[in-house]
Amino acid sequence: MPRFRALGALFCAILAAVAVTVVTEAQDSDNAVARISARPLSDGRIEFALQVQELRCSDSSGEEDALGEDSLAADDCTAFGTVWGERILPRGRNFPAEPEVGTWLSSRPPVLVGEVETRIRARRLDNGNTEFAIQQRLDGENWGDNIPPSSRFIFPSHRTTHIDRWLNSSTVTISKVIVIPVVEVPAGVPIVAEATLAWAELDGWTYNGSEPSFYYGVRQDPLDDSYDTWVVKVAKTDDDLYDTLRLQVSCYGGSFEVVFWEEGLPYQSSDRRVRVSYRFDDGEVTTGNWNHYSGSEDGFYPADFETFSESMKSSDKLVVRATFYSQTVTATFTGVSQMFRTRVQPNIEYCGHY
């Protein structure tokens, strides 16, 4: 079974014998070799760190380096070998003694390996093992998949028998260069169109008692020829004063957004965030503090647009409750997945690429 390896006294003796004079980074590679170091602490927590291999100029002694390989001896320091760099210790690097089983926790803030943000992830398994992995923002924006070393577990016994002793995972290859994928935008995108798809009796202010409840539109900026796209659902609230709330999926200025807004919402002081609880279909209720803005219209929005929109795409009903400074507003949106099946959906899908 994969596991961390305790290097013990032999490793320490070899490391102490190494003498190097120059440290340099490999300039001809887009990748780096890395490993996770972790040590159990006396209070039950586990401290972890990241190590990256470096090229180092050897001294003239020809002694063995820290990897157990023969050093390349050269008086003029033109020969190089690889050794492990200093442990990189993120500020948030202590895995709790009693974590929630199965939940991945991440080190913070991310560290840079070359130009790529990189972090360590850890979770406690049902059998008591603690599993580790490395994760990177390979495109400079989104976190990629976990990169699991083949030896990546600390066993429950390690947490008592190896207190304050660093244990090392097997190595993985990680990237040092951000690679932005090329997106081929289909011909005809962006689409310029607008339509009202549904009407409903909402606030009672319109002449016939109904108003657009599901609509989309596209606007081109005459100054820079950029395009803005919006898809909006409107729902009636449970408040007599603040009758409606709008849910909007949009691409503004090349950025994808999901926001809830209306021309007027209850008062919210500028230094406070809106407390929001929501539920998709018959799922669990999620509660958190959301960002708030106020101007010609008032609105609030989740921290992660992509994750929230993915839930919208597979759901029919969304119930949202927003607690402002002194008032709470609740609204129920139906057919939310329809917002990603309009004529202008390609504008949303390729937002930022046209």
Distances (CA, A) of 340 to 93, 212, 236: 39, 18, 21
Helix (H, G, I), strand (E, B) or coil at 347: helix
Under 8 Å between Cβ of 235 and 245: yes
**Is residue 68's pLDDT more than 60?**
no
CA proximity to 276, closest of 260, 288, 284, 264: 288
C-alpha to C-alpha distance for 212 and 205, rounded to whole angstroms:
12
Percentage of residues in the chain with pLDDT exceeding 90?
Answer: 75
281: Cβ–Cβ under 8 A, 6 or more apart, which residues? 315, 316, 317
pLDDT band for position 181 (cuts 50, 70, 90): confident
Cα–Cα distance, 9 to 202 (Å, whole number): 74
Measured between alpha carbons, how far is 69 from 84 in angstroms, rounded to an integer?
Answer: 12
Give the CA-trace dihedral at 178, 184, 189, 190, to 10 degrees.
10
Paired tokens of 300: 């609030």
Q: Which of 248, 156, 233, 171 is nearest to 202 (CA)?
A: 233
pTM: predicted TM-score of the whole model, two decimal places? 0.58
CA distance 247 to 267: 19
Going by C-alpha positions, the residue among 79, 45, 39 that lies closest to residue 60 is 79
Residue range 292-308, pLDDT digits in tens = 999 889 999 999 999 99
Read off the pLDDT of residues 219-277 as tens digits, 9 standing for 90 and up.
999 999 999 999 999 999 999 899 999 999 999 999 999 999 999 999 998 778 999 99
Question: 156: which 2 tokens?
Answer: 């429950």
Query: Following CA atoms 329, 280, 298, 292 in sequence, which dihedral angle do they give, to the nearest 10 degrees?
Result: 100
